[in-house]
Amino acid sequence: MHKRTGHADVTEPFKVAQPEPFEMPPLYSGKAVANVIGGAGLHHLEYDEPKNTDQRDATRSFITAASDWMDVWDMIGTYGRFDVEENMDRLNSDLHAVGLVAYGAQTDVKVDFWGSESHMRLAAIWVRRMDLVAEEQRTGQQPTPPSGDGVVL
Task: Give the tens place of pLDDT for each residue, 86-131.
Answer: 999 999 999 999 999 999 999 888 887 777 788 888 899 999 999 9
- Average of pLDDT values for 52-73? 95
The domain total for the chain is: 1
> Is residue 88 a contact partner of residue 6, using CB atoms and an 8 Å limit?
no
Q: Within a domain: residue 98?
A: yes
Which is higher by pLDDT, 19 or 53? 53
- The β-bridge partners of 125 are 45, 104
Whether residue 131 is contained in a domain is answered as yes
Say if pTM beats, i.e. exceeds, 0.95. no
d(CA 115, CA 139): 45
Say if 2 falls within a structural domain: no
| Domain containing residue 63 | 15-152
In this structure, is residue 76 part of a structural domain? yes
**pLDDT per residue as tens digits for the range 2-31:** 333 344 344 456 677 777 778 889 999 999
Strand partners, 118: 111
Kind plus residue range of the DSSP H or E element containing 55: helix 53-97
